[in-house]
């Protein structure tokens, strides 16, 4: 069977942030030093070699880039300063665009200008929509002294819009996941996976999604893992309550600080602020290897998350202190930051990694187990 090679492939990957790829001469140091390298999973060396040779199909079926959490050890100790960790990071961006049949991911990743235009369009579209269709900005306060926010942004209307967004983005993400499955599992004819393995291996993928366990093992800085994990927990929690419990979460009642509604809000906000501030400071200082190189999507991501958290805090302060107009305008700006983040990042960029990474672990474990079983069967036949 012929193998298709694209001699210009690495040049095209430069648009996704690949740098110094010519410096790699495959000494194997990155594979040797990586704490997550296992038998038959020789990353990042194998993956970089596929990219350099222009083996697009082989790379598309390779889940290894998702198994890397970029602790920075490989880049820090690379004798050629080829920065293999950053190459793997860029390949994850590329693979996200490969799975995305709409090609919107590639459009956002390849151009900062294009990404910024999309964000600004959505930002102002939200503001204009509220100015045109928002409810009355009542100045009368509730009996408890709070702002009547739900008269301006009725939670049932917002929930309906959220559900439309959820269905739309879920359609894109699920079809992209199916495309990933097709490329990683179905098109790989080297191994046949028994149906039983689909069931037996799913538990570990769920555990890694919830705990980011592999990340905690590979990274020397537990703070980096914790920031990543806490940010993820904050976002997932926010997503669940906005989509399924908005009428309870967005309330005009002023609860005590220990009420579950406020405690959940504190968890979400703290997760966002801790994660985004940690990553922004790291990327500004550039002292650690993992923060030395930043793609434009990295900055857009953390800035949007920070602004969502910051404006959310303002809404809460203005609402409980009886400041109507400040509350309404803060709410508009809050959604003007949140909608672009959700629309562009959930299915087409960084938040989609929450799906791709555990699935890559799931697919890889199935292929490893199936390959071991087939090797054992062949050995038995030979004996």
Chain segment 69-83, per-residue pLDDT in tens: 888 888 889 998 888
Residue 51 and residue 110 in one domain: no
Peptide linkage before 14 cis (omega within 30 of 0): no
Report pLDDT digits (tens) over 134-169: 888 988 888 877 888 888 888 888 888 888 988 999
CA 80 to chain centre: 30
Confirm whether 374 is domain-assigned. no
Residue 49 and residue 122 in one domain: no
Residue 60 and residue 114 in one domain: no
Residue 50 and residue 93 in one domain: yes
| Rounded Cα distance, 148 and 139, in Å | 8
DSSP for 324-335 reads HHHHHHHHHHHH
- Per-residue pLDDT at 203: 86
- Per-residue pLDDT at 381: 58
Q: Residue 1's pLDDT band (boundaries 50, 70, 90)?
A: very low
Domain boundary, last residue among 99, 125, 148: 99
For residues 220 and 354, which has the higher predicted lDDT (pLDDT)? Answer: 354
Place of tokens 């038959």: 40
Report pLDDT digits (tens) over 217-244: 676 667 788 888 888 888 888 888 888 8
In degrees, rounded to 5, the angle at the alpha carbon of residue 63 between the alpha carbons of residues 62 and 67 is: 140
Place of tokens 């890694």: 208
Confirm whether 72 is domain-assigned. yes
Confirm whether 375 is domain-assigned. no
Mean pLDDT score of the chain, rounded to an integer? 87
Backbone angles phi, psi at 346, to 5 degrees: -65, -50
Residue 80 and residue 146 in one domain: no
Residue 92 and residue 123 in one domain: no
> What range defines the domain where residue 210 resides?
104-365
Rounded-to-10 torsion of CA 95, 297, 228, 46: 30
Give the percent of the chain with pLDDT over 90: 38
Residue 194 and residue 289 in one domain: yes
Residue 83 and residue 110 in one domain: no
Q: If you average pLDDT over residues 235-261, what whole number do you get?
A: 85
- Per-residue pLDDT at 3: 60
The total number of structural domains that make up the chain: 2
Q: Are 358 and 203 in contact (CB under 8 A)?
A: no
Residue 333 and residue 359 in one domain: yes
- Per-residue pLDDT at 118: 95
Residue 271 and residue 336 in one domain: yes
Helix (H, G, I), strand (E, B) or coil at 141: strand
Q: If you average pLDDT over residues 314-335, what whole number do you get?
A: 92
pTM above 0.95, yes or no: no
Report pLDDT digits (tens) over 292-308: 888 999 999 999 999 99
- Per-residue pLDDT at 222: 74
Domain boundary, last residue among 82, 99, 116: 99
Q: Are 27 and 19 in contact (CB under 8 A)?
A: no
Report pLDDT digits (tens) over 104-131: 999 999 999 999 999 999 999 999 999 8
Using a 10 angstrom Cβ sphere, with 0-12 exposed, 13-18 middle and 19 or more buried, the burial of residue 238 is buried
Residue 86 and residue 192 in one domain: no
Domain boundary, last residue among 71, 99, 127: 99
Confirm whether 377 is domain-assigned. no
Confirm whether 233 is domain-assigned. yes
Residue 95 and residue 109 in one domain: no
347-378 residues labelled b (16+ CB within 10 A) or e (exposed): bbbbbbbbbbbbbbbbbbbbbbbbeeeeeeee
Report pLDDT digits (tens) over 176-231: 999 999 999 998 888 889 899 999 888 888 888 887 777 776 766 677 888 888 88
Q: If you average pLDDT over residues 50-79, what whole number do you get?
A: 88
């Amino acid at each position: 069977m012929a193998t298709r090679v694209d001699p210009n492939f690495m040049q095209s990957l430069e648009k996704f942030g690949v740098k110094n790829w010519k410096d790699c001469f495959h000494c194997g140091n990155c594979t040797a030093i990586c704490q997550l390298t296992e038998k038959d999973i020789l990353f990042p060396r194998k993956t970089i070699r596929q990219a350099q040779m222009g083996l697009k199909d082989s790379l598309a079926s390779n889940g290894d880039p998702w198994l890397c959490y970029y602790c920075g050890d490989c880049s820090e100790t690379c004798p050629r300063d080829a920065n293999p960790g950053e190459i793997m990071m860029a390949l994850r961006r590329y693979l996200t665009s490969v799975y995305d049949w709409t090609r919107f991911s590639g459009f956002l990743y390849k151009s900062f200008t294009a990404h910024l235009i999309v964000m600004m369009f959505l930002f102002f579209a939200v503001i204009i929509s509220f100015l045109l269709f928002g409810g009355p900005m009542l100045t009368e306060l509730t009996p408890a002294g709070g702002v009547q926010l739900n008269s301006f942004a009725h939670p049932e209307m917002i929930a309906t819009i959220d559900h439309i967004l959820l269905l739309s983005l879920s359609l894109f993400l699920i079809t992209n996941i199916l495309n990933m499955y097709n490329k990683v599992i179905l098109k790989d004819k080297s191994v046949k996976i028994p149906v039983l393995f689909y069931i037996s291996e799913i538990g570990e993928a769920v555990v890694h999604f919830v705990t980011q366990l592999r990340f905690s093992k590979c990274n020397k800085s537990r703070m980096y893992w914790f920031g990543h994990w806490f940010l993820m927990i904050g976002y997932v929690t926010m997503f669940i309550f906005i989509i399924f419990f908005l009428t309870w979460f967005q309330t005009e009642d002023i609860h005590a600080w220990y009420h579950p509604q406020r405690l959940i809000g504190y968890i979400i906000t703290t997760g966002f602020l801790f994660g985004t501030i940690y990553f922004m400071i790291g990327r500004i200082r550039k002292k650690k290897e993992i923060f030395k190189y930043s793609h434009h999507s990295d900055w857009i991501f953390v800035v949007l998350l920070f602004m969502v958290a910051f404006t959310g805090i303002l809404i809460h302060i203005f609402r409980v202190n009886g400041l109507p107009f400040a509350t309404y305008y803060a709410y508009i700006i809050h959604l003007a930051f949140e909608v672009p983040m959700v629309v562009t990042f959930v299915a087409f960029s960084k938040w989609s990694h929450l799906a791709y990474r555990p699935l890559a672990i799931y697919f890889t474990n199935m292929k490893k187990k199936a390959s071991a079983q087939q090797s054992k069967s062949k050995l038995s036949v030979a004996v």
